[in-house]
Amino acid sequence: MVETISIEETTNISPNNPPFTQTHTLPLSHLDIDLNLHVTFRYFRVYAYPSNQIPDPFNLITSALRTALGPYYPLTGTIRPVGGGGYELLCTPNRGIPVVKASMDFSLETLNYLDDPDESLSDQLVPNPDPNEAMEHPMILQITLFKCGGYVLGSAVHNMLCDGMGASEFFTWVAELTRGETRLMVEPVWNRDVLLGPREPTRVEFPFGEFLSLDKEFSPYMQNVGPVVRVCFPMLEKWLDRFKEYLVERSGSKFTTFEALGAFIWQARVKASNIPKDRKVKFAYLMNIRKVTKPALPKGYWGNGCMQMYVQLTAEELLNQPIWKTAMLIKNSKYNATDEYVRSYIDFQKENYDKGITAGQDVSGFTDWRHLGHSKVDFGSGGPVTVFPLSKHFMGSIEPCYFLPYSSHGRNKLNDDDLGFKVLVCMRESARMKFMDQMDKFCKLDFDLS
């Protein structure tokens, strides 16, 4: 039986003190309008605290939103195309963001605090706008109240408007307002066309064309690989420690968890997916460039401040080379992230945007959510016990992978042998069994993927 959420109302939440009276437009940077980011990112936070601590979460949060949307008023805007290619943000007086109020006649405990939720349930917790609605309302929220007094804040945010860090800054400010804060410690900064604009004249110093696709007929999120499913499983520190030792023994180099586990999962997924050997496959991830640019982006900049980085091989090369070599390629790719690399990429976007720049096919996107500070989004009774992404489309990939912290509720029940985190992998359903066989080998400390 599929649990059903009841939708009670949708309210338009606009700023208490309208910050402007005239319709105007705001420019977006070439990092914002990257076609790989032409997608709504969906995720939820679970707050499992009794209602006597927060009697009415919906009114509390929407009241704070009305204040927060003053300095963050672009969230009420509309993304629209501009002549010659690209997009801009249209800001109109008295607009707001839609906030859905919903309820569910279950306790969060009976649902295991949504630590690994059933897909049919989790998709009801977050708005899922169609492409046109997502441009019209780049941010749509849903607050679902549970019988136990806990609640879930579901967020659907268009990635062109801000990245995960930018969205977290906004939600952190909303949460601070609910706890009694009255002024922003750091004012939000727009200035996107100036801070991350192309140079005059443009100058491209890196061979982006070697790993990016120029095909205006291709849309990364319209690829058809059959049904895509979410697979969530624990990753224990003891397994990772042994795998890293294995890599050191063979390479003489140390690797981070992201580099080591990312390499294994990438190889395992490509192997399980039966991708033709001569096909190019990509490992994609985001690198924060806020302190890389010269000058560094100012505090308060909440636009897209990350660059997509890539490792590219043929499927045959990936499957035949030692796993430590793959981890080394991921490790070394980070050193490309320089100010010149960022500026060249922006210039490349300027020169080629109308040709349709994407990462192409067979992209495996990886992102690490373990240290993003989600616990700081505290509306007065503690941070979220679970944070869970729903998006199967991210970074030009239809098969993203997320490293996630355990829910705080689940973590409290763990013994030392179970310490680690969760891995959430989106993959074509046809590859699921073979992929999990490979991960089972990893758990048994068998790291040979041949």
Is 200 part of a structural domain of the chain?
A: no
Q: Are residues 62 and 164 in the same domain?
A: yes
Is 215 part of a structural domain of the chain?
A: yes
Q: Are residues 135 and 18 in the same domain?
A: yes
Taking residues 41-62, what's their average pLDDT?
A: 85
Model pTM above 0.85:
yes
Is 41 part of a structural domain of the chain?
A: yes
Q: What is the pLDDT of residue 30?
A: 94
Pairing of strands 280-288, 363-368: parallel
The CATH number of the domain where 168 resides is what? 3.30.559.10
Read off the pLDDT band of 52 (50, 70, 90): low
Is 448 part of a structural domain of the chain?
A: no
Q: How far is the CA of 181 from the CAs of 31, 48, 141, in angstroms?
A: 32, 23, 22
Q: What is the pLDDT of residues 342-387, one digit of tens each?
A: 999 999 999 999 999 999 999 999 999 988 777 789 998 888 999 9
pLDDT at 412 over 60: no
139-146 sheet: strands from edge to edge:
6-13, 97-104, 139-146, 151-158, 40-47, 386-389
Task: State the DSSP code for 159.
Answer: T
Q: Are residues 356 and 218 in the same domain?
A: yes
Q: Are residues 102 and 143 in the same domain?
A: yes
363-368 sheet: strands from edge to edge:
228-236, 420-428, 401-404, 363-368, 280-288, 306-314
Q: Are residues 128 and 155 in the same domain?
A: yes
Is 1 part of a structural domain of the chain?
A: no
Q: Are residues 148 and 280 in the same domain?
A: no
> Quick one: tokens of 161?
């408007």
Taking residues 32-60, what's their average pLDDT?
A: 87
Read off the pLDDT band of 409 (50, 70, 90): low
Is 59 part of a structural domain of the chain?
A: yes
pLDDT at 2 over 70: no
Q: Are residues 225 and 368 in the same domain?
A: yes
pLDDT at 304 over 80: yes
Taking residues 227-255, what's their average pLDDT?
A: 94
Q: What is the pLDDT of residue 50?
A: 62
Report the chain's mean pLDDT, rounded to a whole number: 92
Is 301 part of a structural domain of the chain?
A: yes
Q: Are residues 162 and 287 in the same domain?
A: no
Q: What is the pLDDT of residues 129-151, one digit of tens each?
A: 999 999 999 999 999 999 888 99
> Which of 195, 223, 238 delimits the end of a domain?
195
Q: Are residues 179 and 124 in the same domain?
A: yes
Taking residues 194-211, what's their average pLDDT?
A: 95
Is 202 part of a structural domain of the chain?
A: no
Say how far apart CA 156 and CA 354 lie, in whole Å. Answer: 27
- pLDDT top residue among 182 and 276: 276
Count of structural domains, the chain: 2
pLDDT at 234 over 60: yes
> Which of 195, 225, 253 delimits the end of a domain?
195
Read off the pLDDT band of 49 (50, 70, 90): confident
State which residues form the domain around 108.
6-195
Percentage of the chain modeled with pLDDT above 70? 95
Say how far apart CA 204 and CA 265 lie, in whole Å. Answer: 32
Q: What is the pLDDT of residue 18?
A: 86
Q: What is the pLDDT of residue 1?
A: 43
Q: What is the pLDDT of residue 15?
A: 95
Q: What is the pLDDT of residue 182?
A: 87
Taking residues 420-442, what's their average pLDDT?
A: 94
- The answer to whether the beta carbons of residues 158 and 138 sit under 8 Å apart is yes
Q: What is the pLDDT of residues 66-84, one digit of tens each?
A: 999 999 999 999 999 998 7
